[in-house]
Homo-oligomer: A and B are copies of this chain.
Amino acid sequence: MNSIFSDRISDVPKSFIREILKVAVDEEVISFAGGLPNRDLFPVEALKMATEIVFEKTGPAALQYSNSEGSVELRKFISDRYNKKFSLDIPIENILITSGSQQGLDLLGKTFLNEGDDIIIEEPGYLGAIQAFSVYKSRFNPVKVHDDGMDIIALKNVFPGRSPKLIYTVPNFQNPSGISYSEENRNHVADVLKNKKIILIEDDPYGDLRYTGQPKSSFRQILPDKTIMLGSFSKTVVPGFRLGWIVAPNEIYEKLLIAKQASDLHTNQFAQCVMAEYLAMGNFDEHIALIKEVYNKQREAMVNSIKKHLPENISFTHPEGGMFLWITLPDNISSMKLFDIAIKNKVAFVPGNPFYIGKTETNTLRLNFSNVDEATIEVGIKRLGLAIKELVILG
């Protein structure tokens, strides 16, 4: 290439959502586009108190350079929680604190992917992961997800021809579709993978936000030797602190740590100390319960509004948790065209395209319900219904 830039950066899609959010800044636009948690639920007072304690108790040490692995207290909390939730015994030496889960994805790409290496992703799939892995010029093998999880036949079909190093999954309340893998589906996925040389990434930012149904197993329980877990405090506490983590076995951890050092030395030490103090206060579960109560109502408001205001020939997912649901329009309707009309009608969403590899036209779209109150959701979905009607008439 004649460009001064690296080949890799030329291949990375610019964040479509961030571009869309720029269109949606108009205050009159009701936005279902972002992936923002509801800031009215942030534990501001508790974090303020935690901050005061950190200044009092830790002082300058909270402001100094620190180790690349991350805060021991924070990792201890995460370890204990895995134990409580899944009876998993995760030593803190296998937990690496990252600058948000997005950095976890980047570090995994850095550590595993050579140019052209195959990776399985969900279709539709999380676009932050697509972005992160694109940087390392891997070859994507998208496998469809349905209401109950991964398409097992499609998953099996990847293997005769290719030897993917990684499979990236969001088994709980997936971004973008809101679907979850059933217990049965998880076991089927594990059956397909168990004798193969592949690592499964279980990205679980929404796992704590379950509004209905039974909690499911972690892949770490089903495929312990092959599973890397990603976690985040962005959806349960605050995203602005950029605090996530990776759980990986020793040999992989060692490499991830080198990648972490080379990437940013270590994660913000002050934020780690404040988060650890906040969690030590012991109200985390209570706080999650509050978030769940509110998001659940918003989810129900959105589902009810869809039933009321959108035409019957669309279909939609009914997530058991998380922050998103997914709409499939009739085959011939472009969600990109709908987007333009919707914006004029003062409602925003994310068209499906960026969640696929190489598709410029889709009839799908993602709606976020965590960041809009119930009354506004109804108004917004009504506007969306009008936009769809308008588009159908325009033809």
Contacts and interface: CB of A to CB of B under 8 A. Distances in A.
Given A12-B262, A112-B4, A258-B12, A36 B64 contact: yes
A175 interface: no
Interface in A160-202: 165, 197, 199
A227 interface: no
A317 interface: no
Contact of A51 (B1, B4, B55, B238): B55
Nearest to A133: B262
B9 A240 contact: no
Interface stretch (A268-276, A320-328, A342-350, A387-395): A268-276
Contacts of A357: none
A353 interface: no
Nearest to A130: B262
A113 B6 contact: yes
Copies of this protein chain in the complex: 2
A267 interface: yes
B265 A128 contact: yes
Contact of A266 (B9, B66, B197, B242): B242
Contacts of A285: none
A79 interface: no
A316 interface: no
Contacts of A9: 110-111, 255, 258-259
Contact of A63 (B39, B128, B266): B39
Contacts of A262: 12, 102, 106, 128, 131-132, 134-135
A156 interface: no
Interface residues of A, number: 76
A261 interface: yes
Interface string A366-378: 0000000000000
A40 interface: yes
Given A12-B258, A63-B44, A271-B271, A199 B99 contact: no
A103 to B, nearest CB: 4
Interface string A1-39: 100111111001011001000000000000000111101
Contact of A112 (B5, B12, B60): B5
Interface in A34-74: 34-37, 39-40, 42, 44, 47-48, 51-52, 55, 59-68
Interface string A285-306: 0000000000000000000000
A65 B31 CA distance: 15
A270 B55 CA distance: 15
A44 B59 contact: yes
- The 6 nearest A-B residue pairs measured at CB: A240-B269, A63-B238, A39-B60, A63-B240, A103-B264, A99-B264
